[in-house]
Amino acid sequence: MAIVCDTGAIYALYDSDDENHLEAVRIFRSEVGELFLPVVLLAEIDYLLTSRLGMGAALDFMRTVEAGVFSVQQLSLADLSKCRTLMEQYRDLPLGFSDSSVIVTAEKLGVQRLFTFDQRHFRVVQSTAFSHFQLLPADE
C-alpha cells in the first residue's frame, strides 16, 4: 500500500538520536508500497538535515531521492489553492504549508496512509477524501 511521507518521519530516519528513529526505520524498511513525498518538503528536509546533522546527511537524502526511493509529487496551482484553504481553515493550529501539502497530496493520490509522528496536526484535519487519515506508526 502507498504512503505519503511527512518531514519529521524522514528526518527521524537519518537522526539516530531522534526519539522516533527506530520506529521510522522499521516503517521505512517494512513499507512495500510507493513512498510519496510532496516536492515542497525537499527544502524543509534538506534544511533540517544540514543544520542538525551536517551536509553528509543532506547529501545522503538527496542520493536516496535521486535513486527513486521516493516518488516526488509536484503541486499544481489548484493544489496550492487547496493548501492555502487548509492553512486558513486551520490557522489556529497553526497548519503550515508543509503539512497542508502532505494532506493535499494524499487526497489527490487517494492515499489514506501518512508516515508521520505529527499526530497534533494530522488527527485534527478533516479530510475531504477519507473519514480519517491512518497515521503510521501510531495507527498500526
Q: Where are the domains of the chain?
A: 3-136
The gap from C-alpha 107 to its chain's centroid, in whole angstroms, comes to 13
Query: CATH assignment of 3-136?
Result: 3.40.50.1010
CB of 4 closer than 8 Å to CB of 115: yes
Residues 6+ apart with CB under 8 A from 33: 1, 2, 3
Q: pLDDT tens, position by position, for the chain (140 residues)?
A: 999 999 999 999 999 999 999 999 999 999 989 999 999 999 999 999 999 999 999 999 999 999 999 999 999 999 999 999 999 999 999 999 999 999 999 999 999 999 999 999 999 999 999 999 999 999 99
CB of 121 closer than 8 Å to CB of 127: no
